[in-house]
Amino acid sequence: MSGRPVPPAVGAVVFDCDGVLADTDDAWAEAERMLCERHAGLFTDELRASTHGLSMRDTVVRLAAHMAVPPATEQLEAELIDLAAERIQAHLVPLPGAVDLVTTVAAALPVAVASNTPRAILNVILGSIGLLDRLDTSLAGDEVTHPKPASDIYVTAAARLGVTPAEVVVIEDSPTGVRAARLAGCRVLGVEAPGRPRLADVEASFPDLPALANHLQALLPPAPLHST
């Protein structure tokens, strides 16, 4: 009997953070704009779109290319972290359905967050939206050798959760994150970021987390098997 191979049972779920669980897009955009203007750079909507989902290092390198006289990359990273942390803390809210979905998944399977956001900011986000203690583990972009779009962060997350990447369903909102998850060998469900092109190379794509939750819940075990 031939046909499409049946994927392995879902053994864990790994969420991206910014744009998937937390509404931080405007805060990051404002921080990047201020960083560019501080160093006589031109910040445009196109430039902001091009940094969506990138690591801190890749983001500041891209921004620096639009600055008159950019300082060292390490300085730009430090400045952007400070600018972003202040704005994220002031305006941080979970995206609709985020807390309920993570809670539902965590009752059935191991669950993690894997984000290119640096640890200092990631902990603030997860703690502020009430998810830090509902996860089995989390990984930040400054904790892996090669952040997204490399596969490192998702391969490591799977190992920490005790499953193979093929058993992981990843929830992503950026092409950068989708590429990382697919390179790792994970299944990927997409959340469509407002105003950005539809995600390619995902198993399915949804306009928001409540819509995605209906699909994801059908993939979960029929009875709770795991608790954090």
In whole angstroms, what is the distance from residue 52 CA to residue 18 CA?
10
pLDDT value at position 209?
95
Residue pLDDT, tens place only, 160-195: 999 999 999 999 999 999 999 999 999 999 999 777
On the question of a common fold for 12-24+93-219 and 25-91, the answer reads: no
Global pTM reads 0.90
Residue 40's pLDDT is 94
Q: What is the pLDDT of residue 198?
A: 85
Q: Tell me the C-alpha distance between 225 and 79, whole Å.
A: 44
Rounded average pLDDT over 8-29:
94
Is residue 196 very low, low, confident or very high in pLDDT (cuts 50, 70, 90)? confident
Q: If you classify domain 25-91 with CATH, what class do you get? A: mainly alpha
Domain spans of the chain?
A: 12-24+93-219, 25-91
Which distant-in-sequence residues (6+ apart) come within 8 Å of 1 by Cβ? none
The pLDDT score that the predictor gives to residue 1 is 44
Fold of 12-24+93-219: Rossmann fold (3.40.50)
Within a 13 Å sphere around the CA of 62, how many CA atoms are in the beta-carbon half?
18
How far, in Å, CA of 42 to CA of 39, rounded? Answer: 9
Per-residue pLDDT at 102: 97
pLDDT confidence of residue 194: 76
**pLDDT digits 0-9 by tens, 118-151:** 999 999 999 999 999 999 999 999 999 999 999 9
With 0-12 CB in 10 A as exposed, 13-18 as middle and 19+ as buried, what is 48?
middle
